[in-house]
Structure 1
């Protein structure tokens, strides 16, 4: 009887293990920063994370060279945190709207971050990107996606995993 009660309690009060990711955009001068964090309680396996600016409200692009689509200051892609979790660095061209990182895996609370310059093409404030300008950009983790809001954060809800 006691065993049945404990088993029933465990089933009722258990929550599925999650391995969600959060991507945060931080506007800064001269380098903007994207931070990818596993906010779940189990490890992400080998996966690709893509930040796609195509749907952004201000037509955002990556400005990585002194000539081309961007304006004023430019900054190339630079991995600044979590390099041990990245298997291949992306080749970002000036004016690209997407960047993909191939991750070896990412444990709970582990992060990967990179700096780059992001400019808008809508003419608002070309070198400074606000939350309303990045809104609508998408983050893909494999086949699952999340969208940036005006808070400059995209949340990707991944399927439940085994902890």
Structure 2
């Protein structure tokens, strides 16, 4: 009986969830992929990509006029649009994008493309992993920084609730 109770106690422990975010430099569009890794689905939550602390002083370049250089690309949801409550409005020179996720299940991906430019180097139209380092992803109040590998992993609270 003790082993059964101990086994039940272990199986009742909280299931943690991770939101993995990858930045993929591309031409002419850069891509952000958000992958939900968990044992259970999550309901609605805001997810923000905030470039303000990035090593390259990055911005979103969405129009031909304004803060960016040469190539520009507007925000476009390219995967998982049905998981996002509404497409965010992103202005040229913005440093933040917030996606209001309606729901997401384990293994599902949400991806968007946009142009990202740095504002301090000579290669402004090409962004390396080290230039996005320090940018943050905030998901439902939890936060993680991008590393030099252009990835961030946000640990979310248990999803048993």
Q: Name 1:47's counterpart in structure 2.
A: 45
Aligned to 1:74: 72
Alignment partner of 1:110 is 2:125? no
Per the TM alignment, residue 25 of structure 1 is displaced from its structure 2 partner at its CA by 0.4
- The aligned counterpart of 1:157 is 155
TM-score by length of 2: 0.95
Could you report, residue by residue, the CA deviation over 1:108-162 in whole angstroms, capped at 9, with x for unpaired residues? 0111100000000012421111111000000011211111001111111111121
Say whether residues 1:29 and 2:27 are aligned partners: yes
Unaligned runs of 5+ in 1: none
Contact 1:19 1:43 in 2 (8 A): no
- Provide the alpha-carbon RMSD of the alignment: 1.5
Could you tell me how far apart the structure 2 residues matched to 1:86 and 1:13 are? Answer: 32
Q: Counterpart of 1:20 in 2: which secondary structure?
A: strand
TM-score (norm 1): 0.93
Q: Which moved more, 1:5-14 or 1:15-24?
A: 5-14
Displaced runs of 4 or more, over 6 A: none
Is the contact made by 1:38 and 1:44 (CA closer than 8 Å) also made in structure 2?
A: no
Partners of 1:105 and 1:150 lie apart in 2 by 29
Of residues 17-26 and 54-63 in structure 1, the stretch that sits farther from structure 2 once superposed is 17-26
Give 1:20's aligned residue. Answer: 18
Whole-Å Cα distance in 2 between the matches of residues 159 and 102 of structure 1? Answer: 18
| CA positional deviation for 1:10 | 4.1
